[in-house]
Structure 1
Amino acid sequence: MGKKFTIGVLIGNVHTAHPKDLMRGIRAAASGMDVNVIYFLGTQSVRFNQKFALEDFDYQYNTVYDYAKLAKVDVLIIAYGSLCIFQKNEDKQAFLDKFAGIPYVLLEDATDDPRGIYVMVDNFGGMQKCVEHLIIEHHLKHLVYLGGPEDNQDAIERKAAFLNVMAEHHLPVTPEMMAVGDYSEFVDNLVEQLLKDNPDAEAIISANDEMTVACYRVCKAHGLRIGKDILITGFDDVERARYSNPPLTTASQDAYKMGQIAVEKAVDICAGRPVESVRLDAELIIRESCGCKVTRRAKEKADEKTELLHIIDELRLFQHKSWLGPFLIRDLMQEAENEKSFYRKSGEVFYHLGIRSSMLYLLEQPVTYENGQKWKMPQRMYLTMHQYRENIQVFEKQERPYIDGSFGVLDCCSSGEDHFSYISFLLIDGKRQYGLLMLEIEPEEISFYYILALQLGTSLRFLEANIKQKKYRDRLREKNEVLNFIAIYDELTGIYNRRGLMESLVRFNQDNLGKKACLMIADLDHLKEINDNFGHAEGDCAIRTAAGIVKEVFGQYGDVGRFGGDEFAGIVRYSEMEEKEQLIYNIHQKCEQYNEHSMKPYYVGISVGVVEFVCEKKIDFIEMFKHADEYLYEEKKKRRKTVCRNVNFENS
Structure 2
Amino acid sequence: MTNNRLNIGLFICHLDNEYANEICKGAEYAAKELDVNLIVFPGMFLNASFNDPENEIYDYQYNSVFYYAKKENLDALIVSVGTIASFISQKSIEAFLDTFKDIPILTLESKVSGYPCLQTDSTAGLRDAIEHLIIHHNRKHICFVAGRKTNEDALERLNVYRTTMKAHNIPVTEDMIVYGDYSEYSREIVGKLLDDNPDADAIIFSNDQMAIGGYQELKSRNIRIGADISVIGFDNSPGSVTMVPPLTTVNANTPALGYRAVGKIIQDIKAGEFCSSVLDSHFVKRLSCGCSLHENTEHMPIDSFSTVSDILEYCDDSILGNIKNSFFGTIVLDQINSIWKDIIEIAILPKAKPYPKNLIVDKLMTLLSSPVTSFFSVTNIAFSFRCFSGVIIALINDPDKRSEYYRLNSHITSAIAQFLSTSLYQQEHDSKTGSWSSIYITRDTLTYGTDTAKTFSSMLAKLKDLGFAASYLYAYDEPVAIQPDGSWKTPDTLYLQAFYNPKHTAVLSGETRRIASTDIFDNEYTGFEDRFTAVIVPIFTNEQHHGLFVCNTDVDHFGHIYTTSLHLGASFKYLSLLKEQIQTKEQLVMSLSEIHEKNELLNHLSTSDELTGVNNRRGLMEKVEYLINKPANHGRKAMLLFADMDSLKIVNDKFGHNDGDFALKNIANILMTSFRASDIVGRIGGDEFVCFAFIDDLDFPKTVQARIQELSNELNETCGKPYYIEMSVGVSEFSCDPNIKIEDLLSQADSALYSNKRYKRMSVLK
Give the TM interval when normalised to the shorter protein.
Answer: 0.5 to 0.7
Q: Against the structure 1 CA distance between its residues 198 and 442, is the aligned structure 2 distance closer, same or farther, given a 3 Å change threshold?
A: farther
Q: Against the structure 1 CA distance between its residues 385 and 130, is the aligned structure 2 distance closer, same or farther, given a 3 Å change threshold?
A: same
What is the deviation of 1:68?
A: 1.8
Q: Against the structure 1 CA distance between its residues 225 and 323, is the aligned structure 2 distance closer, same or farther, given a 3 Å change threshold?
A: farther
Moved more, 304-313 or 12-21: 304-313
Q: What residue number does 1:159 align with? A: 158
> Helix, strand or coil for the counterpart of 2:549?
strand
Moved more, 181-190 or 314-323: 314-323
> Helix, strand or coil for the counterpart of 1:410?
coil
Of 532, 539, 544 in structure 2, the residue corresponding to residue 427 of structure 1 is 539
Q: What residue number does 2:509 align with? A: 396
> Helix, strand or coil for the counterpart of 2:475?
strand
Of 317, 326, 338 in structure 1, the residue corresponding to residue 430 of structure 2 is 317
Q: Indicate the RMSD between aligned Cα atoms, in angstroms.
A: 3.2
What is the deviation of 1:204?
A: 1.5
Q: Against the structure 1 CA distance between its residues 417 and 42, is the aligned structure 2 distance closer, same or farther, given a 3 Å change threshold?
A: same
Distance in 2 between residues matched to 1:176 and 1:120, nearest whole Å: 30
- Whether the aligned pair in 1 keeps the contact of 2:474 and 2:495 (CA below 8 Å) is yes
- Whether the aligned pair in 1 keeps the contact of 2:475 and 2:547 (CA below 8 Å) is yes
What is the deviation of 1:240?
A: 0.8
Q: What residue number does 1:10 align with? A: 11
> Helix, strand or coil for the counterpart of 1:214?
helix
Tell me how many residue pairs correspond in the alignment.
Answer: 478
- Whether the aligned pair in 2 keeps the contact of 1:30 and 1:263 (CA below 8 Å) is yes
- Whether the aligned pair in 2 keeps the contact of 1:403 and 1:409 (CA below 8 Å) is no
TM-score (norm 1): 0.67
Is 1:99 aligned to 2:212, yes or no? no
Q: Deviations over 1:330-358 (max 9, x none)?
A: 11332322334333322122012232101
Q: Deviations over 1:385-423 (max 9, x none)?
A: 221148422222422242334x45213534353111112
Q: What residue number does 2:579 align with? A: 467
Q: Deviations over 1:156-205 (max 9, x none)?
A: 21111111112222323233222222222122222222222222221121
Q: What residue number does 2:613 align with? A: none
Is 1:35 aligned to 2:36, yes or no? yes
Q: What residue number does 1:539 align with? A: none
Distance in 2 between residues matched to 1:269 and 1:385, nearest whole Å: 38
Distance in 2 between residues matched to 1:219 and 1:45, nearest whole Å: 33
Which residue identity is paired with 1:67?
Y
Q: Against the structure 1 CA distance between its residues 135 and 249, is the aligned structure 2 distance closer, same or farther, given a 3 Å change threshold?
A: same
Is 1:354 aligned to 2:353, yes or no? no
- Whether the aligned pair in 1 keeps the contact of 2:64 and 2:486 (CA below 8 Å) is no
Moved more, 2-11 or 220-229: 2-11
- Whether the aligned pair in 2 keeps the contact of 1:122 and 1:282 (CA below 8 Å) is yes
> Helix, strand or coil for the counterpart of 2:239?
helix
Is 1:63 aligned to 2:64, yes or no? yes
Distance in 1 between residues matched to 2:250 and 2:168, nearest whole Å: 20
Q: What residue number does 1:231 align with? A: 230
Q: Deviations over 1:354-405 (max 9, x none)?
A: 3210112223332123647974544444432221148422222422242334
Q: What residue number does 2:196 align with? A: 197
Which residue identity is paired with 1:367?
V
Which residue identity is paired with 1:39?
V
Q: How does 1:573-584 map to 2 (within 5 A)?
A: none
Is 1:409 aligned to 2:521, yes or no? yes
- Whether the aligned pair in 1 keeps the contact of 2:496 and 2:515 (CA below 8 Å) is yes
What is the deviation of 1:248?
A: 0.8
What is the deviation of 1:46?
A: 12
Distance in 2 between residues matched to 1:374 and 1:239, nearest whole Å: 33
Distance in 1 between residues matched to 2:484 and 2:475, nearest whole Å: 21
Q: Deviations over 1:571-592 (max 9, x none)?
A: xxxxxxxxxxxxxxxxxxxxxx
Is 1:327 aligned to 2:440, yes or no? yes
Distance in 1 between residues matched to 2:57 and 2:270, nearest whole Å: 42
Structure whose CA Rg is larger:
1
- Whether the aligned pair in 2 keeps the contact of 1:6 and 1:38 (CA below 8 Å) is yes
Q: What residue number does 2:110 align with? A: 109
The percent identity for this pair of structures is 29
In structure 1, runs of 5+ residues without a counterpart are 484-652
Q: What residue number does 1:248 align with? A: 247
- Whether the aligned pair in 1 keeps the contact of 2:536 and 2:549 (CA below 8 Å) is yes
> Helix, strand or coil for the counterpart of 1:330?
helix
Which residue identity is paired with 2:34?
M
Is 1:365 aligned to 2:446, yes or no? no
Q: What residue number does 2:642 align with? A: none
Moved more, 154-163 or 312-321: 312-321
- Whether the aligned pair in 1 keeps the contact of 2:441 and 2:567 (CA below 8 Å) is no
> Helix, strand or coil for the counterpart of 2:203?
strand
What is the deviation of 1:146?
A: 1.2
Q: Against the structure 1 CA distance between its residues 72 and 372, is the aligned structure 2 distance closer, same or farther, given a 3 Å change threshold?
A: closer
Distance in 2 between residues matched to 1:326 and 1:391, nearest whole Å: 25
> Helix, strand or coil for the counterpart of 2:241?
helix
- Whether the aligned pair in 2 keeps the contact of 1:383 and 1:412 (CA below 8 Å) is no
> Helix, strand or coil for the counterpart of 2:86?
coil
Q: What residue number does 1:264 align with? A: 263
Distance in 2 between residues matched to 1:208 and 1:425, nearest whole Å: 27
TM-score (norm 2): 0.58
- Whether the aligned pair in 2 keeps the contact of 1:269 and 1:275 (CA below 8 Å) is yes
> Helix, strand or coil for the counterpart of 1:354?
coil
Distance in 1 between residues matched to 2:433 and 2:584, nearest whole Å: 40
Distance in 2 between residues matched to 1:242 and 1:148, nearest whole Å: 22
Q: Against the structure 1 CA distance between its residues 91 and 315, is the aligned structure 2 distance closer, same or farther, given a 3 Å change threshold?
A: farther
Of 343, 367, 373 in structure 1, the residue corresponding to residue 456 of structure 2 is 343
Q: Against the structure 1 CA distance between its residues 63 and 328, is the aligned structure 2 distance closer, same or farther, given a 3 Å change threshold?
A: closer
Q: Against the structure 1 CA distance between its residues 268 and 318, is the aligned structure 2 distance closer, same or farther, given a 3 Å change threshold?
A: same
Q: Against the structure 1 CA distance between its residues 140 and 227, is the aligned structure 2 distance closer, same or farther, given a 3 Å change threshold?
A: same
> Helix, strand or coil for the counterpart of 2:169?
coil
- Whether the aligned pair in 2 keeps the contact of 1:84 and 1:151 (CA below 8 Å) is no
Distance in 1 between residues matched to 2:47 and 2:498, nearest whole Å: 30
- Whether the aligned pair in 2 keeps the contact of 1:125 and 1:282 (CA below 8 Å) is yes
Q: Against the structure 1 CA distance between its residues 89 and 329, is the aligned structure 2 distance closer, same or farther, given a 3 Å change threshold?
A: farther
In structure 2, runs of 5+ residues without a counterpart are 297-318, 320-338, 341-380, 386-415, 595-766
> Helix, strand or coil for the counterpart of 1:417?
coil
Q: Against the structure 1 CA distance between its residues 374 and 388, is the aligned structure 2 distance closer, same or farther, given a 3 Å change threshold?
A: closer
Which residue identity is paired with 1:365?
E
Structure richer in helix, relative to its length: 2
Q: What residue number does 1:557 align with? A: none
What is the deviation of 1:40?
A: 0.8
Moved more, 319-328 or 303-312: 303-312
> Helix, strand or coil for the counterpart of 2:522?
helix
- Whether the aligned pair in 2 keeps the contact of 1:351 and 1:389 (CA below 8 Å) is no
What is the deviation of 1:430?
A: 0.9
Q: What residue number does 2:406 align with? A: none
What is the deviation of 1:13?
A: 4.3
- Whether the aligned pair in 1 keeps the contact of 2:45 and 2:85 (CA below 8 Å) is no
- Whether the aligned pair in 1 keeps the contact of 2:61 and 2:486 (CA below 8 Å) is no
What is the deviation of 1:464?
A: 0.9
Q: What residue number does 1:75 align with? A: 76
> Helix, strand or coil for the counterpart of 1:59?
helix
